[in-house]
Amino acid sequence: MKRTTRLIHAGRPDDDDGLVNPSVQRASTLLARSSEALYAPAKRPFHYARGGLSPQAELRDALADLYGADHVALASSGLAAVALALRLAVEGPGEALISDSVYGPVRYFCDEELPRLGVTPRYYAPRIGAGIADLLSEETRCVLMESPGSLTFEVQDVPAIADAARRVGAKTVIDDTWSAGLLMNPLELGVDFAAQALTKYVGGHADFLMGSVAARGDDADALARREIRYGLHVSPDDAFLALRGYRTLALRMERSGASGLEIARRLQAHPRVAEVLHPGLEDSPDNTLFRRDFSGAAGCFGVVLKDVSGREAEAMLDRLELIALGFSWGGFESLAMPCDRQLRRPAGSWTADGALIRLAIGLEDVDDLWADIEQALAD
Ligand SMILES: *Cc1c(COP(=O)(O)O)cnc(C)c1O
């Protein structure tokens, strides 16, 4: 069956109650009828609620179907999911190769937490492709990718990097939030651990935070064990909302992606715009890899403004009336954000000199969004 069909049917409870959706079961304790039963968890699907009950189990199943994964772990946020994946990927001291384009808080995790494990983070330019081989050695514990990258949206050659890493025995992790596991499947492209912020497109309604990590084979077993050892738990209400968002993921991404691309094209022709950072644009340097590995675009992209200081760009964004300012993206509502204050590229992979803004296009009418952008960019 096609993925769009499976999104509707995966992770449906198969109990006898006839419910389409899992029940939201609020519990910590689960009572047993006897001491014998208390210690015979194999006979009961759940024996304590930390690992989650029906909504969490159905959400894991649905995401496992999306990725073709053997296990999906749920974490309290997207950041926690990437941190968990990295923790699994680095066993023992050495070096971790980190894409210059990773999400800022992930960079802070790498800089502060990896050295405590004896692992030195080393940043590489996201478009390095097979050239990563020059940086890999037997010291390399893991390679972290994010594609397209945060703020600057470079597409990475995921199969080439995964292949090169495998040759030296390094694990690979990707932050897959932009494609939500739907527009690209990193596990199919050879990545060991695919982490995403369900907070964004899967949630889709800006009302909770959650993250997931997907893996196959031995990595999936290791992931499942770590999830238990660390006592990870997400609330049943949030798992229910994530599964509800999952049902309409394809539909929302299609609309958000199409409107985003339309606005990206209109912006390309705008006199205040130096460059639109969107891999779906035909003249993007990332378009070839994008067309090879992705089935469509998300609605989030960057815009470099021409002859505009960071301060002037912020004043323009302040003039937006329909589009609100906010971190995060992937919800039904369009958001904008000035990026210069948080843009860091330790490997020097960012050289544009105009102010950078980010647009996350939601589900509003595209002409209404464009009218708002046009009036904000006008003098
Ligand atoms: C938002 C985001 C995260 C973090 O997700 P949270 O749920 O907010 O912690 C991680 N990676 C990327 C690419 C993101 O955009």
Read off the pLDDT of residues 242-266 as tens digits, 9 standing for 90 and up: 999 999 999 999 999 999 999 999 9
Read off the CATH number of the domain in which 166 is found.
3.40.640.10
pLDDT at position 177 over 80: yes
Q: Which segments within the chain are labelled E, that is strand?
A: 71-75, 94-99, 119-124, 140-146, 171-175, 193-197, 211-215, 273-277, 300-305, 324-325, 335-338, 356-360
Q: Which of 60, 67, 103, 157 is catalytic?
A: 103
Residue 13: the pLDDT is 86
Its domain, for residue 119, covers 3-244
The torsion defined by the Cα of 356, 358, 359 and 360, in degrees rounded to 10, comes to 170
| CB of 199 closer than 6 angstroms to any ligand 1 atom | yes
Q: Which of 167, 132, 134, 137 is nearest to 147 (CA)?
A: 132
pLDDT band for position 16 (cuts 50, 70, 90): low
| CB of 78 closer than 6 angstroms to any ligand 1 atom | yes
Same domain, 233 and 262: no
User: Which of residues 210, 244, 278 is at a domain's end?
Assistant: 244
**Contact between residue 340 and residue 310 where contact means Cβ atoms under 8 Å apart:** yes
**Contact between residue 101 and residue 146 where contact means Cβ atoms under 8 Å apart:** yes
Percent over 70 (pLDDT), the chain: 98
Pairwise CA distance, residues 161 & 315, whole Å: 40
| CB of 150 closer than 6 angstroms to any ligand 1 atom | yes
CB atoms near residue 354 (< 10 Å): 19
Pairwise CA distance, residues 65 & 311, whole Å: 45
User: Which of residues 193, 218, 244 is at a domain's end?
Assistant: 244
Residue 40: the pLDDT is 84
Distance (angstroms) between ligand 1 centre and the Cα of 211 equals 8
Q: Which atom of ligand 1 is nearest to the CA of 177?
A: 13
Q: Which of 87, 141, 171, 200 is catalytic?
A: 200
For residue 175 the two structure tokens come to 């932050």
pLDDT band for position 348 (cuts 50, 70, 90): very high
* Mutate-to-test residue for ligand 1 from 100, 103, 232, highest number of ligand atoms within 8 A of CB: 103
Same domain, 225 and 311: no
pLDDT band for position 47 (cuts 50, 70, 90): confident
Pairwise CA distance, residues 60 & 51, whole Å: 11
Percent over 90 (pLDDT), the chain: 92
pLDDT band for position 312 (cuts 50, 70, 90): very high
| Catalytic residue flag (residue 108) | no
Residue 170: the pLDDT is 98
Same domain, 196 and 339: no
| Catalytic residue flag (residue 175) | yes
User: Which of residues 212, 244, 276 is at a domain's end?
Assistant: 244
Phi-psi region of 194 (alpha: psi -120 to 50; beta: other; left: phi over 0): beta
Same domain, 63 and 195: yes
Same domain, 188 and 142: yes
Residue 134: the pLDDT is 98
Q: Which segments within 176-323 are labelled E, that is strand?
A: 193-197, 211-215, 273-277, 300-305
Same domain, 36 and 127: yes
| Catalytic residue flag (residue 218) | no
Residue 45: the pLDDT is 75
Q: What is the mean pLDDT of the chain?
A: 96
pLDDT at position 353 over 90: no
| CB of 208 closer than 6 angstroms to any ligand 1 atom | no
* Mutate-to-test residue for ligand 1 from 74, 77, 79, highest number of ligand atoms within 8 A of CB: 79
pLDDT at position 41 over 80: no
Q: What is the mean pLDDT of residues 45-53?
A: 89
Q: What is the mean pLDDT of residues 194-199?
A: 98
Same domain, 102 and 216: yes
Same domain, 129 and 178: yes
pLDDT at position 159 over 90: yes
Same domain, 231 and 287: no
Q: What is the mean pLDDT of residues 87-104?
A: 97
Structural domains in the chain (count): 2
* Mutate-to-test residue for ligand 1 from 101, 199, 201, 210, highest number of ligand atoms within 8 A of CB: 199
Same domain, 286 and 172: no
| CB of 101 closer than 6 angstroms to any ligand 1 atom | no
